[in-house]
């Protein structure tokens, strides 16, 4: 049975969502950038700004030189997440086999649904019109026999519409395209293929033998040859639901001060801890991600001995991950803390004496009082001293805890 795979994509998804909210942003050069620093890197760029020479990953000061009328937008992960959820809810009515990607993209597997919905190209046209009418988001749809070619087909279009690749013609469709359209061709391999081997099109790469490809791709050669021939047997995999609690922040200005960064980390911990306690769950694993200003991301993971949902215990583990991840002489633009492996929170009993139990009871009573205040008046009604950068005693404490050789 021939497969019908659809790849739906909304170009520059964060900007498209912002334009739905604010109509004055339409047809203007826009870019999404965290913070107000001139050295911050652009995360997303509109088509109007791209026509002026602005690209993703470009510093703000350079982008403003290329496009003086460029308007900068701050990231809004919550709004983008709600828009992605609305898109998923709308499209999942066509098939139970759907796989989301980042940036307003997702795959739909319509294999065997022809008698119910009609040909894949008709479903794609109906889906594109329905998303535009109900969500006011305009996207492109690629239809092919596998995920690889459908994704290339959706990005092939320069305006909203449907690109249907006939079954059996996948290799001839992607053959004249640049080698950069294939996944797994990074900047280093692309430079090697273009400059040293003069391989510019996919069909030239597909014509090489497997031993020749091993010289460039090594163990990746069989997969690269398969992709160059337009073959992709990978299935559309629905997301696996894994309960977790996450908090993320982007700094107003890029920082390398431990006091400021640890204050932001304390706020993340307090947000995660409150949500965990509301769920009645504890986390057995913490995942901490650090986003540097130059685009490099560091990620560290720690396993907890028992399920934890108290702020002090979570903060101690998160600070350890922070000092493990923050080892570069580069400013930080954002952080993310994820609590995983959720289970019933349990308190460990003291083996000897009751002093520790009494202290633990006092900490839990204090935590319950803080939660009650925050649930009623908001997170800012009461703050821990650790979340307030600039306190002399906290700065002295951080200097004592700084590991040797720290590079900030």
How many residues would you count in the chain?
A: 408
Residue 355 has pLDDT above 60, yes or no: no
Residue 41 has pLDDT above 70, yes or no: yes
Could you read off the pLDDT of 52-104 as tens digits, one per residue?
Answer: 999 988 889 999 999 999 999 988 888 898 999 999 989 888 888 889 888 88
pLDDT band of 3, cuts 50, 70, 90? confident
Contact call for residues 355 and 367 (beta carbons, < 8 A): no
pLDDT value for 348:
52
The least confident of 16-30, 66-80, 177-191, 309-323 is 177-191
161, 10, 8: which is closest to 98 by C-alpha? Answer: 8
- What lies within 8 Å, CB to CB, of 357 at 6+ separation is 349, 350
Indicate the average pLDDT of the chain. 84
Distance of CA 299 to the CA centre of its chain: 13
Fold of 1-167: Alpha-Beta Plaits (3.30.70)
Residue 46 has pLDDT above 90, yes or no: yes
pLDDT value for 17:
94
119, 120, 92: which is closest to 106 by C-alpha? Answer: 92
pLDDT value for 398:
45
Tell me how far apart the alpha carbons of residues 250 and 345 are, in angstroms, rounded to a whole number. 30
Confidence (pTM): 0.66
Number of alpha carbons in the 13 Å side-chain half-sphere of residue 259: 13
pLDDT value for 395:
41
Could you read off the pLDDT of 317-343 as tens digits, one per residue?
Answer: 999 999 999 888 888 888 999 999 888
What 16-24 contacts at long range (C-beta under 8 Å, 24+ apart), as own/partner pairs, is 16/104, 16/137, 16/138, 17/79, 17/80, 17/83, 17/104, 17/137, 18/73, 18/76, 18/79, 20/83, 20/135, 20/136, 20/137, 21/79
Q: In what order do the strands lie in the sheet with 161-164?
A: 98-101, 105-109, 5-9, 140-144, 161-164
Residue 20 has pLDDT above 70, yes or no: yes
φ, ψ dihedrals at 305, nearest 5°: -65, -30
Residue 357 has pLDDT above 70, yes or no: no
Fold of 245-401: Dna Ligase; domain 1 (3.30.1490)
pLDDT value for 360:
66
309, 322, 335: which is closest to 251 by C-alpha? Answer: 335
pLDDT value for 1:
67
pLDDT value for 212:
87
Q: Where does residue 362 rank: exposed (0-12), middle (13-18), buried (19+ CB within 10 A)?
A: exposed
| CB neighbours of residue 78 within 10 Å | 9
């Amino acid at each position: 049975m021939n497969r019908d795979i659809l790849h739906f994509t909304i170009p520059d998804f964060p900007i498209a969502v912002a334009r739905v909210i604010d109509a004055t942003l339409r047809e203007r050069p826009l870019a999404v950038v965290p913070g107000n620093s001139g050295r911050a890197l652009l995360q997303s760029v509109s088509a109007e700004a791209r026509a002026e020479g602005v690209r993703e990953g470009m510093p703000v000061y350079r982008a403003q030189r290329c496009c003086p009328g460029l308007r900068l937008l701050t990231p809004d992960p919550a709004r983008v997440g709600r828009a992605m959820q609305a898109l998923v809810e709308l499209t999942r009515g066509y098939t139970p086999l759907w796989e989301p990607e980042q940036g307003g993209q997702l795959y739909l597997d319509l294999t065997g649904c022809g008698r119910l919905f009609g040909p894949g190209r008709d479903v794609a046209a109906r889906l594109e019109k329905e998303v535009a009418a109900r969500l006011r988001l305009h996207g492109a749809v690629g239809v092919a026999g596998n995920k690889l070619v459908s994704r290339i087909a959706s990005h092939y279009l320069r305006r909203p519409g449907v690109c249907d690749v006939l079954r059996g013609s996948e290799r001839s469709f992607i053959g004249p395209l640049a080698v950069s359209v294939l996944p797994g061709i990074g900047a280093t391999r692309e430079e090697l293929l273009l400059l040293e081997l003069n391989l510019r099109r996919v069909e030239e790469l597909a014509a090489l033998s497997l031993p020749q490809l091993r010289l460039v791709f090594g163990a990746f050669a069989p997969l690269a040859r398969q992709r160059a021939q337009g073959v992709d047997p990978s299935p559309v995999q629905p997301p696996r639901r894994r309960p977790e609690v996450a908090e993320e922040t982007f700094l107003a200005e890029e920082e390398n001060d431990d006091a400021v960064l640890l204050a932001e980390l304390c706020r993340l911990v307090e947000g995660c801890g409150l949500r965990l306690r509301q769920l009645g769950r504890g986390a057995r694993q913490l995942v901490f991600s650090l986003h540097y200003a130059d685009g490099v991301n560091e990620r560290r993971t720690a396993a907890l001995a028992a399920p934890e949902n108290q702020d002090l215990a979570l903060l101690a583990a998160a600070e350890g991950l922070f000092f493990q991840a923050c080892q570069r002489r580069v400013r930080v633009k954002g952080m993310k803390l994820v609590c995983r492996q959720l289970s019933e929170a349990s308190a460990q009993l003291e083996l000897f004496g009751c002093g520790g139990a009494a202290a633990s009871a006092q900490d839990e009573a204090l935590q319950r009082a803080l939660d009650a205040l925050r649930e009623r008046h908001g997170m800012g009604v009461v703050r821990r001293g650790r979340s307030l950068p600039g306190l002399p005693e906290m700065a002295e404490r951080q200097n004592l805890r700084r590991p040797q050789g720290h590079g900030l």
